[in-house]
Structure 1
């Protein structure tokens, strides 16, 4: 443990030596004072000729934020804000000496292309969260919920508000009408809110702001100016009900003899989404029988390491306000709450005999779900989520005789999240609790009956938020049958059966498992050109989160440290330059020193807005506990990797970016080469076409295949794999107007793996690659094409000792969505969707393009035609 301790002490305390070297300059807070108005409210038409606007003065004197911070912008901007009992009204004039050059590109909601202006409002005045309302010169709306002091902008927040724009001889103008019911604020005779107004001057890729925010500031929301003059406004208790009706037709290739695959299925369904303002601070969201048919398909992926693949949440109910429930306790994607568990694929499969056909449900039905969330004026953030998924049955047909078997039980999911700000919003302490409870029957006893997780987290900022200390701890408890807990102990996340592990072993009599995890980190977030952080993460072997969270691997202690540099002014031919050096080491709970890695990353953006990203890493020590799936620790040879990407100006109608990642291990243990790119063409303001091809090659001399019993000895079988993958993401967006658009997404995907030179592990941690395995001689291994098995005769004595299946694979898939979306009135939508998919398993000996042709172009696809109609009632 000595290398770990020395590195951790050094990297953790070195920043303290620099504590006083850089001081953050306090920027005076600007104040805009609003007022009510007399007479009629302004007409929201983008033309600022209403008499009521004379009730307030202009806020102006914007300052450039990018690329040359704290200098006068090319063109000035000014704004007015006024209010009445129900609405906040905003007028913005974006002065432009050449109005014919204003860029007015169309897109769907939250498409921030071309010239735009936005207003950010911190109505909680907590210096961490805010509401952002953006409008482009073309009239496209954008709205986002800001959290984590500007480090997270959630575009899934879709409030009802109104806006129009207009171009005239002085530039362009925008009017906004924002219902107070869409904001969150407490009761007070006079409100003080955080305020920022920002403009993008597209031709020069220039940002200017009303309140100056230095590029070395520790955050975004904490640096806002202030909005004063809001007197006697009353919190608005909104009530929104949104029923939906959906019709769906599925077509697919008919399967002879299978009564469940007769060529087509039709369904009619409906449900309700709702939002109730319990107070103006806290909102109750609920859904009954939600439909997610218009959601884009997940990208195709293959994991040769056996671990589960993380997919981002795309379902609207779970995406909205997700920041309140977020609890990333470690690194990567580990999270106490992973909403994709709710409505997951059924985990059971029926027992069948030859000749039987199965209709297996694809997802668990969400009977209902509700969220109670928000933030009070005195700093309490509250989130409660409750969801119930129903029993799912597979239907089995045996020559016309039908029966049902349970494949997913009735399950209740609960998540509770609480945080409290204090110390003038510079400190918060919070907690989370999750519970999963299943009503199990005998055939599903391999699942946990109950799973509970609790956590505490905190963050403290000081010296004007320049420095911070944060941390969290997590404890988990799962309970179930002996079978369920044994399966958990033996799962890839835990591997208690690992043959060389002295600190864990499988207990077949256990009916519960309790573990812990956590993270502590210190860092510098602002002030000057340098940033740094250092910390420690741990996950005990018994930690288990995967009932309603996401945990890739337990049994790890990780130390890490990062040092970063960024310019705050243009330098020579560069707009921005940034660089980062990172280091980490890992251990397991037995004290095995498993890994150390050093990495450098750099980014340079030129004055012409082209960019270059480069990076390199050195991994002198790589031991993996999970590679042999319960076998001993495995050593990979020393590795070096590097990458380089470049991109053209993203504002241009024709733009592109390309890059390459290359990795090479010592003794040619493995290689990795990936080439990817993106080409986007926008021939008109309404049409955008893009394609993002990607190719990777990943040959490996020691790819895990399987494990077999050889006369009482376990053989861990490896092979030399030639793995190649080719895919392309294709997107087409046509926007008729800001409320009516057509979008297409498609992804062909093919991955081929061919194995040869099979071997078994002899000394898994040997320094020399060739000492780690014994490779079968030609007279010891034969392939039986009839059974598709490799037969092993160790010693070539004429006796077959064991066999294993042919691991070659060729996976081909095509997924696409064509969606017409029409927001015919604010908050109410019509979707027309056509989804198409093909999945095939080709010949691994074919080349990539041949497999793509045979399995996609040569196959009849499955189609889904869907129409969804929603109407939002605001009461």
Structure 2
């Protein structure tokens, strides 16, 4: 191997936890539960422990709280839950923003948050947010990420008074994972005063180094808990009807989600006969390049509590229930006179489970398993009028196992394995990754990386590949940097259960940045960064190109922000992937791209974002221009609308169109690509529990080729060719989702969902926008209406009903 995979070993001995001054609060056990109504007049609060003296961490760092904006928090506990009462003083209550949003949506509001870390490991917080409207949000927080896809069942209430606003919270132990042997919990409180653009914390947070999770205070006194069984059920039922091409199809399904606390620290999540019919649509785009497009996971089961499974970046959950692995081979298996009558583009999932948690000594364990159903395509012989099935995806099992050891409250090492086993002769795969992320005792420097090995078993052949990454960075102070190296070989493949765009490459990257943590007279904050990258083919060791980018972000005290970037390549660039044939490359000159954007204050009723880009290739008549505009209208605290328009034009781009069967002749075309996208996102909130939501997007991208085509020579140049096939494309995606959701009880929902969708690709690239729309609406339109009912049942409450 041509790189050092595990340089971190020499640094382990340097790592010990930085000594950060921590506040302490001792919780008292109560025999009388407070009523969660926001009034804070329960007798038990009079004897509760108190946390106060908050300090600012945004925009300034360490400034004491304002005298007229003090925050006082009281806390209690019993055998069922932890309770909090917060007094959020504010002598200008008319300025407290009250934009209604549903769960996990933080809009134009003030909020109070409790950050809990029962294992006190400095790396894994659970956040519970209560908005000034009374809405809730919850998330998992690690070093650099807040994951609001995690959901727990807990209780809160707010009340606005002449002297400010009050919050009352109950967090059941069933919402937490903890060891009864840990005497000291990590805890912090956060308050946002939105109209002042200020955020405060109880325990000081130094934004110039480390991460928020390392700055927790200490909660003591919680002991002798007779914690209840952590077991809940969420049965659901869905009925739907789809209309397409004059036909109507009715469907119904029932299923069950289960959460079970295997121990004080580990939880099992299971879904049986899952239903994802109401999942948000993907923002599909035209793809003429050699690489797969990546879309974010939208299914709740695969986004909630999955932070452990993201270690090593080899698990891409969209692979489960995606297109059948041999769907594209059906045409090749047709016999004479046969046609395809049905070829499903998705695989049904039968069930899935995940087990995750972390021991008191910091060992995180994650186990995931999913089973997908056998999928077949239907073909028919038009002469004999007979039909047969072709298996495109057999019964398959997807498995992930993670071990991640954290230490010193700022470091970790881990191993993750993914495995895909398909029945019969179909392709199987196994990938293992070793990961490390280590900071020094002062949180000044960090080294992280991974080493991955992939094994693929396909058609009686075995293929083994590797990939490695290492990065050294300075993570404190105004000036920061990171340098890294990444390399993989030609046999490295993770696409069965991971995401991969390319292999057989090597990159060297260095990024330098300067940013401020304290506002000055001109700027609230700013960051300037310079990024440099060298790209090589791994085998043979061939130079591919380089990238240099200067980027800037600036925000004024008024919350008006602006920025931009300049990106270029120096010298000749060698693209080894655009030709789509191994061993061949396309040679071209570098580009110069410039970008600029502005963004207004989103606290105002009208706000906007606007950006523009222009780029050109050196010495060529190839250029790119784009602009986007996003006005935001908040008509009231209940109703808002966001409109997004994006326009781009790429002129005289040279790109791959075809190659001969023997791969000796590769043809390129000269094309003009236009893209126009219009989108609307709107919501009307009846209250914090129910809302009517609209998501609309029309994406249009026509591609027009000139009549002159080219052939790629062995030395990477283009010469004129007599090739003359048509490759014009006209690509349209139309999506409209309208839904009503009502959270009628904690963890329980009633949802009515309507979807209108069209996807069409043809060669009518000469149509203007109006004629294109008329043509689009002549295509088959899919209409779907579904109703879903989910009910949350806690085992401990269920016992009292029986």
TM-score (norm. length: structure 2):
0.93
Query: Which of residues 180, 183, 186 is equivalent to 2:179?
Result: 186
Report the Cα distance in structure 2 between the residues aligned to 1:25 and 1:670, rounded to whole angstroms. 53
Secondary structure (helix, strand or coil) at the match of 1:203 reads helix
* Change over 3 Å in CA distance of 1:133–1:759 after alignment to 2: same
Deviation at residue 668 of structure 1 after TM alignment: 2.1
Counterparts of 2:44 and 2:772, CA distance in 1 = 63
Match of 2:244 in 1: 252
After superposition, what is the alpha-carbon deviation per residue over 1:100-135, rounded to whole angstroms, capped at 9, x for unaligned? 221111011111121111111111211111000001
1:506 is matched with which residue?
A: none
1:469 to 439, 447, 458: 447
Change (3 A) 1:537 1:404: same
Q: CA deviation at 1:860?
A: 5.3
Q: Is residue 58 of structure 1 aligned with residue 45 of structure 2?
A: no
- Equivalent residue, structure 1, for 2:627: 675
Whether the aligned pair in 2 keeps the contact of 1:582 and 1:598 (CA below 8 Å) is yes
**For residue 511 of structure 2, what is the aligned residue in structure 1?**
562
Q: 2:345 is matched with which residue?
A: 362
- Pairing of 1:402-413 with structure 2 (within 5 A): 402-413=387-398
2:358 is aligned to 375
Residue 394 (1) aligns with residue 377 (2): yes
Partner of 1:530: 479
Contact 1:726–1:848, Cα closer than 8 Å, also in 2? no
Shift of 1:28: 1.8
Contact 1:665 1:671 in 2 (8 A): yes
Change (3 A) 1:862 1:116: same
Rounded Cα–Cα distance in structure 2 between residues aligned with 1:480 and 1:638: 39
Quote the residue 2:731 is aligned against: 811
Q: Is the aligned partner of 1:91 residue 2:95?
A: no
Q: 1:169 corresponds to which residue?
A: 162
Cα offsets for 1:595-653 (capped at 9, x unmatched): 11111111000111010121111211421111111161212211111211110001111
CA distance in 1, matches of 2:227, 2:170: 17
Query: Match of 1:239?
Result: 231
Q: What does 1:243-642 align with in structure 2 at a 5 Å threshold?
A: 243-254=235-246, 263-328=247-312, 335-349=313-327, 350=330, 351-352=333-334, 356=339, 358-396=341-379, 402-422=387-407, 424-440=408-424, 447-448=426-427, 450-481=428-459, 511-526=461-476, 528-589=477-538, 590-621=540-571, 622-630=573-581, 632-642=584-594
Q: Residue 62 of structure 1 contacts residue 73 of structure 1 at CA under 8 Å; is this kept in 2?
A: yes
Q: Following superposition of structure 1 onto structure 2, how do residues 210-249 of structure 1 map, counting pairs within 5 Å?
A: 210-249=202-241
Name the SS of the counterpart of 2:165 in structure 1.
strand
Aligned residue for 1:773? 718
Q: CA RMSD in A?
A: 2.4
Determine helix, strand or coil for the equivalent of 1:176. Answer: strand
What is the CA distance between 1:737 and its match in structure 2? 1.4
CA contact 1:515–1:540 (8 Å) conserved in 2: yes
2:200 alignment partner in structure 1: 208
Q: Deviations over 1:775-794 (max 9, x none)?
A: 24xxx56xxxxxxxx3xxxx
CA contact (8 A) 1:751 1:848 kept: no
Corresponding residue to 2:749 among 829, 834, 837: 829
Alpha-carbon shift at residue 459 of structure 1 (Å): 1.8
| 1:726 and 1:749 in contact (8 A); partners too | yes
SS in 1 for 2:184: strand
Residues 237/469 of structure 1: CA separation in 2 closer, same or farther (3 Å cut): farther
Task: Show the counterpart of 1:507.
Answer: none
- Indicate yes or no: 2:39 matched with 1:47: yes
Residue number in structure 2 paired with 1:687: 639
C-alpha distance in 2, partners of 1:556/1:160? Answer: 46
Partner of 2:599: 647
1:107 paired with 2:137, answer no
Structure 1 residue 463: Cα displacement: 3.1
Q: 2: distance between equivalents of 1:870 and 1:313? A: 21
In the alignment, which residue of structure 1 is the partner of 2:760?
840
Unaligned runs of 5+ in 2: 796-802
How far, CA to CA, are the matches of 2:541 and 2:430 in structure 1? 28
Distance in 2 of aligned mates of 1:555 and 1:851 = 45
The CA deviation at 1:95 is 0.7
How far, CA to CA, are the matches of 2:423 and 2:663 in structure 1? 40
In 1, distance between residues paired with 2:359 and 2:621? 56
Q: Give 1:487's aligned residue.
A: none
Do structure 1's residue 746 and structure 2's residue 691 form an aligned pair?
no
* Structure 1 residues 119-158: aligned runs within 5 Å: 119-147=114-142, 149=143, 151-158=144-151
CA contact (8 A) 2:186 2:218 kept: yes
Structure 2 residue corresponding to 1:159, chosen from 129, 148, 152: 152
* 848 and 339 in structure 1: CA distance in 2 versus 1, 3 angstrom threshold: farther
Distance, in Å, in 2 between the alignment partners of 1:451 and 1:859 is: 40
Aligned partners of 2:94, 2:736: CA distance in 1, in Å?
A: 38
> What is the CA-CA distance between 1:184 and the residue it aligns to?
1.1
Residue 861 (structure 1) shift: 2.1
Q: In the aligned structure 2, how far is the partner of 1:851 from the partner of 1:469?
A: 56
SS at match of 1:222: helix
SS in 2 for 1:835: strand
Deviations 1:389-414 (A, max 9, x none): 01012334567755433221111111
Q: CA deviation at 1:68?
A: 2.1
TM-score w.r.t. length of structure 1: 0.85
SS, match of residue 627 in structure 1: coil
Is the contact made by 1:242 and 1:872 (CA closer than 8 Å) also made in structure 2?
A: yes
1:417-451: CA deviation from partner (whole Å, max 9, x where unpaired): 111123x334322101111111135xxxxx41x21
In the alignment, the residues of structure 1 paired with residue 780 and residue 174 of structure 2 have an alpha-carbon distance, to the nearest angstrom, of 50
Cα distance, 1:757 vs. partner? Answer: 4.4
> What is the CA-CA distance between 1:314 and the residue it aligns to?
0.9
- Cross-structure match for 2:616: 664
Q: Summarize deviations over 1:761-785 as a string: whole Å, max 9, x none.
A: 354656xxxxx22224xxx56xxxx
Task: Give deviations 1:21-44, integer Å, cap 9, x for gaps.
Answer: xxx996521112211124x21111
Instruction: Give the Cα separation in 1 of the matches to 2:280 and 2:388.
Output: 34
After superposition, give the CA deviation of every residue in 1:649-684 in whole Å (9 maximum; x if it has no partner).
011111100001222111226322221121111101
Measure, in 1, the Cα distance between the counterparts of 2:544 and 2:585. Answer: 9
Report if aligned partners of 1:764, 1:773 keep a CA contact under 8 Å in 2: no
Aligned partners of 2:779, 2:665: CA distance in 1, in Å?
Answer: 40
C-alpha displacement of 1:236: 4.4
Deviations 1:224-270 (A, max 9, x none): 1111221222454411111111111000123xxxxxxxx11111111
Residues 854, 219 of structure 1: CA spacing in aligned structure 2 closer, same or farther, 3 A cutoff?
same
CA contact (8 A) 1:818 1:835 kept: yes
**For the residues of structure 2 that align with 1:532 and 1:235, how far apart are their CA atoms?**
46
Does the CA contact (< 8 Å) of 1:698 and 1:724 recur in 2? yes
Between stretches 426-435 and 153-162, larger displacement belongs to 426-435
* CA distance in 1 between partners of 2:161 and 2:726 (Å): 70
Instruction: Extract unaligned runs of 5+ from structure 1.
Output: 255-262, 329-334, 442-446, 483-510, 767-771, 782-789, 791-804
* CA deviation string 1:316-345 (max 9, x = no partner): 1111122110134xxxxxx31111011112
Relative distance call for 1:845 and 1:184 in structure 2 (3 A) is: closer
